[in-house]
Amino acid sequence: MAQLLLRGELLGEIEGVLFDKDGTLSHSEPRLITQGTSRIHAACQCYADITAGSDQRDSAAETKLRELLHRAYGLSDQGVSPDGLLAVASREHNLLGTATVFSLMGLSWPRALLLAERTFAEAVNNEVGLAKLDKPMQSSPLLPAARTFLDQLRDAGVTCAVISNDTRAGIQAFLRSHDLDGHIAGIWSAEDLPSKPNPEAVQGLCKILGLNPRQCALIGDADSDLLMARQAGVSHSLGYVAGWQQDPDLTEHEHLITHWNELNVTGRSNCS
């Protein structure tokens, strides 16, 4: 079985590693800033459309809506909050968060939910339109030295998987764009139930891959990932803190990683 080392110190033997995607393998912050900004712009336009001619329509209301959405998404001049809604949560939870903001603006919940759905659709249309004018939308880059570690794991016969709140299509597109299909044996997305951070998500993914959670490591950038790993019985929960402009404030980790080159794997697993 392969041995996992952190800064030259042996952590233990492993047969599998489960990776979060955004902010762990993927430098996703620029894309998320664009996505969040596009949603806020679309939300303000949608809100203006439905409140035209009413008492709810004024510049102060739009300013309040923008401020609430920035706070809800975790967007600021410092970038994306690593533990905020935009960085950590699924599309569904982001949509519900947007609807909640609309309800705080005085809309009924049914109307707020419909407006959130319209906002997300308009934001996607805006992003596609800008991409056609500028250049095709590209996948987020890998974080430095992530490929080197993935190559080591593959060469050592360690089974690797991605567990993310992104869609399955989004995860697959990321893997294809970086030629990682041969490195990653399994995916657990927001569409798989239960989705993370339910520990049964980890157990379900391990079961599909024939892995024992106690012989695995999980690497993520959020406390919800790391607590999920511990609750699922994963032996090594490693917090990665170099994927964002602001360092994640982690407390549930066993160890912290500040660069992918701090991890190494030696030996060859007897598992296929």
For the chain, list the domains and their CATH numbers: 2-28+141-266 (3.40.50.1000), 29-133 (no CATH)
At 127 the pLDDT is 62
At 267 the pLDDT is 78
pTM above 0.85, yes or no: yes
At 56 the pLDDT is 55
Asked whether the predicted pLDDT for residue 53 surpasses 70, the reply is no
Tally Cβ neighbours within 10 Å of residue 137: 13
Percent of the chain topping pLDDT 70: 92
At 54 the pLDDT is 63
Residue type at 80 in one-letter notation: V
Q: How far is residue 27's CA from residue 240's CA, in Å, rounded to a whole number?
A: 12
Contacts of residue 194, Cβ cutoff 8 Å, sequence gap at least 6: 200, 201, 204
**Residue range 58-115, pLDDT digits in tens:** 778 999 999 999 999 999 999 999 989 999 988 999 999 999 999 999 999 999 999 9
Structure tokens at 87: 């960085």
DSSP the chain: -EEEEETTEEEEEESEEEE--BTTTB--HHHHHHHHHHHHHHHHHHHHHHHTTSTT-SHHHHHHHHHHHHHHHTEETTEE-TTSHHHHS-HHHHHHHHHHHHHHTT--HHHHHHHHHHHHHHHHHHHHHHHHHS----PPPBPTTHHHHHHHHHHTT-EEEEE-SS-HHHHHHHHHHTT-TTT--EEE-TTSSSPTTSHHHHHHHHHHHT--GGGEEEEESSHHHHHHHHHTT-SEEEEE--SSSSPP---S-SEEESSGGGEEEES--S--
Contacts 24+ apart (CB under 8 A), 230-236: 231/199, 232/199, 232/200, 232/201, 232/202, 232/203, 232/206, 233/199, 233/203, 234/18, 234/202, 235/12, 235/14, 236/4, 236/11, 236/12, 236/14
